Amino acid sequence: MKVAVVGASGMVGRVMLRLLEERNFPLTELLLVASARSVGKEIDFKGKSYTFISVEDAIAAAPDVALFSAGGDASREYAPKFVEQGTVVIDNSSAWRMDDRYPLVIPEINANKLTSSDKLIANPNCSTIQLLMAVAPLHKEFGIERMIISTYQSMTGTGVKAVEQYENERDGKSGDMAYPYPIYQNCLPQCDVFEDNDYTKEEMKLVRESRKILDEPNLQVTATAVRVPVLGGHSESVNITFEKDFDIEKVKDILRSTDGVVLQDNPAKLDYPMPLSAKDKDEVFVGRVRRDESAPRSLNLWVVADNLRKGAATNAIQIAESMLQAGLIQ
């Protein structure tokens, strides 16, 4: 099993490497692909030193699986070239997510739709993954009529440059800016660029990706995405109106029994999810579960996950694991 990690020197790429080791992924050969400035540098994996190689060399090696986290431009250019070599590409960028030719997969929800002909699989956006991990089983039981989402997203979702901006501002240093305004001691109601409808690209990802993954093209979803000065983990306030009424204990039972979801909901003991406690964990944590008393058939949830793990690297590797288990990767 020959595996390439494209973008191995980036934040998500390094988490992918850590998870390949933690999960004992059955690889026999590892190809680490990085930008031109990192080619030739070395990194340790399982006590062995590996050298970063160019993407052209990795394509020529025809790996069985390529885990991509190198950005949309690199994915659009190189992912098809890996596919031509017979490689299964699992891409973490937004390049292919809304392309009807390619599946958009959260393994716990829709991995059963994958086939042996699927050679390019899109990894959903981090905020979409944790949202749907919590609400998909509730949708199956009660039917979602409408969702209103407010996100509180870690600056790590922007990448190393954003973390450096935060640290410079905290330390009183000047430096490059990942954002148009300070992030230290601040919140920015802008994640990604604005679209023509005045929603940001991040907000519209929640709308479009939720519809595709749940196979509900008319699902009513609206979102406000906010960047916050948190070093790890995204949080979401989710308000859902269902087609059917629900019993609050039934809701909690469903969440409690959902693989990959941890119900952390005990207000009497001040027990609820936080990004600090979700850091370096693969589960999605759900709490503050309560009926919306202002509207019929409506529910409030608070959803937290480590955006670099289940929101990115873990989900990608789980896709590969599920395809291996189903015999879709030989």
DSSP per position, 133-164? HHHHHHHHHH-EEEEEEEEEEEGGGT-HHHHH
Residues in the chain: 330
Catalytic residues: 126, 234
List 153's β-bridge partners, or say none: 227
DSSP one-letter code for 271: B
The residue behind tokens 């590409």 is 89
Q: Are 109 and 87 in contact (CB under 8 A)?
A: no
A 10 A CB-CB count for 238 gives: 22
Q: Are 303 and 273 in contact (CB under 8 A)?
A: yes
For residue 231, CA distances in Å to 6, 24, 170, 316 come to 24, 27, 13, 21
A 10 A CB-CB count for 56 gives: 11
How far apart, in whole angstroms, are the C-alpha atoms of residue 266 and residue 253? 14
Nearest to 8 by CA among 320, 328, 316, 319: 316
How far apart, in whole angstroms, are the C-alpha atoms of residue 180 and residue 158? 13
Helices (H) and strands (E) in the chain, counts: 10, 13
